[in-house]
Chains A and B, each alone.
Chain A
Amino acid sequence: MILAAGQTAIEAKGVTKQFGTGQDAVKALDNVSVSIRENEFFTLLGPSGCGKTTLLRLIAGFDFPNEGEILLYGENIAPLPPYKRPVNTVFQSYALFPHMTVAQNIGFGLEMLGKPRAEIDKRVSQMLQLVRMEELANRRTSQISGGQQQRVALARALAPAPKVLLLDEPLSALDYKLRKDMQIELKRLQNETGITFIFVTHDQEEALTMSDRIAVMSRGKILQIGSPRDIYDRPSVRFVANFIGETNFLEGDVLAVEGASATVKLAGGGTIVAGLPEGLKPHGRVTVVVRPEHADLVKPGGEADLWGKLENIVYFGTDTHYYVKLDGGEAFIIRQQNSHGAGSGHAVGNPVGVALEANSAQVVRD
């Protein structure tokens, strides 16, 4: 789902950040440009070291870019210190002040902004209510659980009503169950406050379930920006397809290109029509990706795009994974939803065909 294209809240323009100098120099961000809309839940997704946290820290003001601009509603904030930016951060470690109570923590930002006491108190109790922590207002932050600390960190960052909220892997320290709850909670908070969220994570599932849009990053560059469905169904780069979800990679030769799709003759036999990433007009050898759930097993004699031998069947409860070794030698995984009491009728060792769903294949850049 893409929200009605609102105003741009944050825009990075050609941002480069380098750590160290000379031979030890590491480019954490390499000419990155991205624009994030107002009220959007925007996720920076990537493996550790991909530059996602660096980008967040540049927006927060803890680091300054070597090149490029960071625009907040059109105004370049890159040279401003963090305390002059109407942007707040939820830290991975929460970074709650241990010498203050929960309420003092939440009120700290407003106090520093010089708000009158009465207004601070009112806002703090609103925030406590928002994150359902009213009873623990006067506790020390060391006397509350990890999940509660997480809520306090959120309330503290939301209290000054920032234009943009930055979240640096805020759920990574929580256990699975709590993380699920907090994902829903975060989404609720974003809806209720209407604040633009920029969320950093390496967890693809978290990114897919929560985000309006995702930017997948690797080695200091943004590889693809799109809605979770775009990113999952139409990965434009091999890395994105590989990083998010399970994927089958197939080699093939382009026979023809028409608009946004190409006819590809697969190395394994069949000829398919595959979607093309924007701006790519391929010829010759290409890589095509197909998600495991977008293909079906076919018994010999049926109509299929590829043929091979069924090597393994793994039952997962909700679905079953079929591992096929294609005649071309490549591995292909098919995931099928299980229905009650019905077996698949396939057996390991049998020759099988693989039928791809229409429009499910996608050519990726290497």
Chain B
Amino acid sequence: MGVAQQAADRAERDQIRKRWLLSSPALIIIFFAAIGPLAVVVLYSFMVKGDYGDVKYWQFSLDGWFNVVAERDMFDDTLGLAWANISIFWRSLKLSFITTIITLFFGFPTAYFIATRKPDKRDLWLFLITIPFWTNILIRTFAMQEVIRNEGIINSALMGLGLVDQPVQIMFTDWAILFGMVYVYLPLMVLPLYASLEKLDFRLVEAGYDLYANRFQVLWRVIIPLVKPGIVAGCILVFIPSLGAYVIPRVLGGGKNMMLGNLIDLQFGQGRNWPLGSALSITLMIIVTLALLVYVRNTAKGGGNGHV
């Protein structure tokens, strides 16, 4: 009995050891690639900023976090809100939100179109949708610049048609950033929507029509509730990278129309304020986490393609 017990214990210990050993590659990657760097960023956000960048190690201060939303006046040292930062937060949220809405508006019909093609044609359409992914985002952004700049395709066309006398200024405005983000992130909306729509049982759509629902009612009461997981996934996939967008606002928005990514970059570069940069990064992460929580709560609540 005692011997058997010992053997069982040993077997169990072996089991546990083996389990740790097998999961060690994943654990190492998670620690060195995710938790470790994140811990460094959190730590930096609570330190005193160095004079030429970097931080003064082990000198702690809340200035980094404080500076996210507030600032001291350079001359009379009074406290005020950091309007520059707040407006950048606002612009990031606003542009990301609008981008999400626009990509959803265009992505849904696109995904629906693809999902209702014959199976052998769907792959071709999906392939076309994913082609832009093969190109570096910087190049795609410059391509967009070529489309919207004053001498670009849109303005040449408008002027050629005599619709405007002088070029419409799109570059270096929020519109330019919107154009760029919608273009770059549209596939991220289409793909999860397609995945959901493709699984949609179109007999349910027929059942909807049969029960006196018109096209709009079928869309609203049958299709959208059933593909909600895809809609939420698409929105999250577009909203999160939009919020952290760096290249697009840098190239198309110019120096004046910064978004969060550019603000963070600025703090680690010219701003020489690493604690503030770190605090801004963490803030961005918190916003993203909140968005993800919405996603998890929405998908956990059933619904979806739970056909029998």
Contacts and interface: CB of A to CB of B under 8 A. Distances in A.
Interface string A89-127: 101010111110000000011001100000000000000
Interface stretch (B53-61, B172-180, B203-211): B203-211
A149 B307 CA distance: 12
Interface string B217-228: 100011001100
Interface stretch (A80-88, A226-234, A320-328): A80-88
A160 to B, nearest CB: 7
A160 B212 contact: yes
Contacts of B214: 81, 83, 112
A167 interface: no
Interface band, chain A:
20 to 34
A112 B308 contact: no
A128 interface: no
A202 interface: no
B222 A93 contact: no
B307 to A, nearest CB: 6
A83 B208 CA distance: 8
Contact of A142 (B213, B226, B308): B308
B203 A83 contact: no
Given A81-B209, A83-B212, A95 B306 contact: no
Contacts of A108: 208, 211, 213, 221
A241 interface: no
B308 A61 contact: no
B204 A95 contact: yes
B201 A95 contact: yes
Given A82-B210, A149-B308, A93 B203 contact: yes
A99 to B, nearest CB: 4
A88 B225 contact: no
B303 interface: yes
Contacts of B207: 89, 91, 95-97
B211 A99 contact: no
A61 to B, nearest CB: 7
A61 B212 CA distance: 11
Contacts of A93: 201, 203
A99 B225 contact: yes
Contacts of B302: 99, 140
Given A98-B226, A99-B226, A112 B204 contact: no
Contacts of A91: 203, 206-207
A39 interface: no
Contacts of B206: 62, 82, 89, 91, 95
B209 A113 contact: no
A249 to B, nearest CB: 40
Given A141-B308, A142-B306, A112 B213 contact: yes
Given A93-B203, A95-B203, A97-B204, A88 B211 contact: yes
Given A91-B203, A98-B307, A142-B306, A109 B212 contact: yes
> Which of A89, A108, A141 has the most C-beta atoms of chain B within 10 angstroms of its own C-beta?
A108
A344 to B, nearest CB: 50
B209 A156 contact: no
A164 to B, nearest CB: 12
> Which of B226, B302, B303, B308 has the most C-beta atoms of chain A within 10 angstroms of its own C-beta?
B308
A60 interface: yes
A160 B226 contact: no
A83 B204 contact: no
A61 B207 CA distance: 11
Contacts of A99: 225-226, 302-304, 306
B211 A62 contact: no
Contacts of B217: 112
A138 to B, nearest CB: 14
Interface string B223-243: 001100000000000000000
A60 B210 contact: yes
Contact of A61 (B204, B208, B209): B209
Given A81-B209, A88-B210, 9 more contacts: A82-B206, A82-B210, A96-B308, A97-B204, A108-B208, A112-B213, A140-B302, A157-B211, A160-B211
22 contacts: A81-B214, A82-B206, A83-B212, A87-B210, A89-B207, A91-B203, A91-B206, A93-B203, A95-B201, A95-B206, A98-B204, A98-B307, A99-B226, A99-B304, A108-B208, A108-B213, A109-B211, A112-B211, A142-B306, A142-B308, A149-B308, A157-B211
- Which 7 pairs across A and B sit closest by C-beta, in order of nearness? A109-B211, A95-B207, A112-B212, A82-B209, A95-B203, A99-B225, A112-B213
Interface of A: 60-62, 81-83, 87-89, 91, 93, 95-99, 108-109, 112-113, 140-142, 149, 156-157, 160
